[in-house]
Amino acid sequence: MASKARAPLDRYDTPPWMVAALLREVPEIGGRTLLDPCCGNSSMAWMMRSRFERIVLNDIDQNIPCESHRDLRVSTHLWTGCDPDWCVTNPPFSLTGRVINQALQYCRVGVALLLRITALEVCAGREIISYDPPQRLIVLPRFRFRAGGNDSATVAWLIWWREKRPISGPPIVLVSRPDAKRLALQCDAAPDGFLLGKEAA
């Protein structure tokens, strides 16, 4: 029987193909500093390392090797200390509203968050969605993050730019299951990741 227990610290690592889908659809992601405040297995940073001069990694899990282990519920120093151009992360669902608010306040260029599609529901803590909705959505096929688990969910990249401007590409992209499988095969075939640099976009 599938376990109904949540993963410790609500950690569900991001498969590389999901990052590949983001970089394919938003090739302009890049700049001086990338912040991943909930880095987990660091797959996002690994695949975007050639796009940024500096990458700052944080995770509340003390067992994860990263630059800091700050708790986003009680501290904003992480954001003010690194002055990020972009925040790209897959936050715990319980921190969705807090991460959206902090990222939009402190990031200089843009924000891309991998969230359950239900994060678009406006509720207590996520009021910002109603007056500052994401400018692009990349909806991914339903996926089970833990083998044998019951965490199957539809997730999407929610993307904001600090300066509102015409966007390149459609506002909503639906990634099909066959397309996701192709991305996964490409990631598996490339030890260094898929779509690493701007030149590959």
pLDDT at 40: 83
**Any residues with CB less than 8 A from the CB of 161 and at least 6 apart, and which?**
109, 110, 135, 167
Which two structure tokens, joined as six digits, stand for 87? 């925040």
Q: What is the third-level CATH fold of 10-192?
A: Rossmann fold (3.40.50)
165: number of Cβ within 10 Å: 8
Instruction: Kindly give the interhelix angle for 177-189 and 16-25, rounded to the nearest 10 degrees.
Output: 110
Sequence spans of domains, the chain = 10-192
Contact (CB, 8 A) for 148 and 154: no
- Give the other-Cβ count within 10 Å of 128's Cβ: 15
Query: What pLDDT does 3 receive?
Result: 45
Angle (CA) 168-169-170 rounded to 5° is 130
pTM for the model stands at: 0.83
- What does the pLDDT profile of the chain (201 residues) look like in tens digits? 344 555 555 556 888 999 999 999 999 999 999 999 988 888 888 899 999 999 999 887 878 777 777 777 777 777 888 899 999 999 988 888 888 989 999 999 999 999 989 888 887 777 778 878 999 999 998 877 655 555 567 899 999 998 877 777 789 999 999 999 999 888 876 544 433 333 333
